[in-house]
Amino acid sequence: MSGIATVWSYRDAFLAGLGNTAALVGLALVLSLPLAALAAVLLVEASAPVRRLGREVVDLFRCVPFLLLAYVIYYGLPEIGLRLGAWWAGLVALVLYNGAYFTEILRAAALSLPREAVEAGRAYGFSRAQLYGRIVLPLVALDAGPVIGNQIVVMIKDTALLMVITVQELSFVANFVNARAFAPFAPFATALLLYWVLCLVAEAGVGLIARERRRRYG
């Protein structure tokens, strides 16, 4: 029971850590999804050489462990004159890394769209922007929703790696409390439970999208 008391006495730190984790995930989502949508459109529309190059870049990001990318950005950005704190470097890493995954997810979904639905849009005089905005994107969002949800779960867990570059997120806090109080079980168990809750929330979101998709597509 002393463990619970320890965690309780550090509740502010845990809340701050949880807040940091949630803020990183939320902000990274808000930034990376539109970027990925744009990149996916470019990958679909661009000329063949550009398309190939784009896919190579996306594949490269997907081959690199997230921690390594975070390191490269944390230590690499100052080399090109950009001095960011750990938190911001972590955010950049999250956005780039997940942006690459989202791009691939959206691209694949766009490629498997019902051809005729898109063609009907053209036949009815939609401009290219309208075609994307009103037909392709809504369809892709419903199609790719569950896969994006899974990637969000991966993203939540990736934020934990940012403790290594000293971002004060949930795992950093748990480790900090463990080091201070010499009682490992309660802080780490608390962190794991909180991650579980975050992931369950994300999965519930996926469930909602999946339900909406079933309602519309059957």
Least separation in angstroms between residue 213's CB and another protein is: 9
User: What is the Cα–Cα distance from 167 to 124, expressed in whole angstroms?
Assistant: 51
Show Cβ contacts of residue 67 under 8 Å, excluding neighbours closer than 6 positions.
Answer: 161, 164
Residue 8 or 124: the one with the smaller Cβ distance to another protein is: 124
Least separation in angstroms between residue 106's CB and another protein is: 13
SS3 readout for 133-171: HHHHHHHHHHHHHHHHHHHHHHHHHHHHHHHHHCCCCHH
Least separation in angstroms between residue 131's CB and another protein is: 6
Residue 31 or 183: the one with the smaller Cβ distance to another protein is: 183
User: What is the Cα–Cα distance from 211 to 205, expressed in whole angstroms?
Assistant: 10
Residue 82 or 200: the one with the smaller Cβ distance to another protein is: 200
Least separation in angstroms between residue 28's CB and another protein is: 15
User: What is the Cα–Cα distance from 144 to 166, expressed in whole angstroms?
Assistant: 33
Least separation in angstroms between residue 110's CB and another protein is: 7
If phi > 0 it is left, if psi is from -120 to 50 it is alpha, else beta; for residue 47 that is beta
Least separation in angstroms between residue 14's CB and another protein is: 13
Burial bucket for residue 163 (CB in 10 Å: 0-12, 13-18, 19+): buried
User: What is the Cα–Cα distance from 199 to 218, expressed in whole angstroms?
Assistant: 27
8 A C-beta contact, residue 172 and residue 166: yes
Residue 36 or 158: the one with the smaller Cβ distance to another protein is: 158
Residue 12 or 63: the one with the smaller Cβ distance to another protein is: 63
Residue 31 or 67: the one with the smaller Cβ distance to another protein is: 67
Question: What does the angle CA 168 – CA 171 – CA 172 come to, to the nearest 5 degrees?
Answer: 35
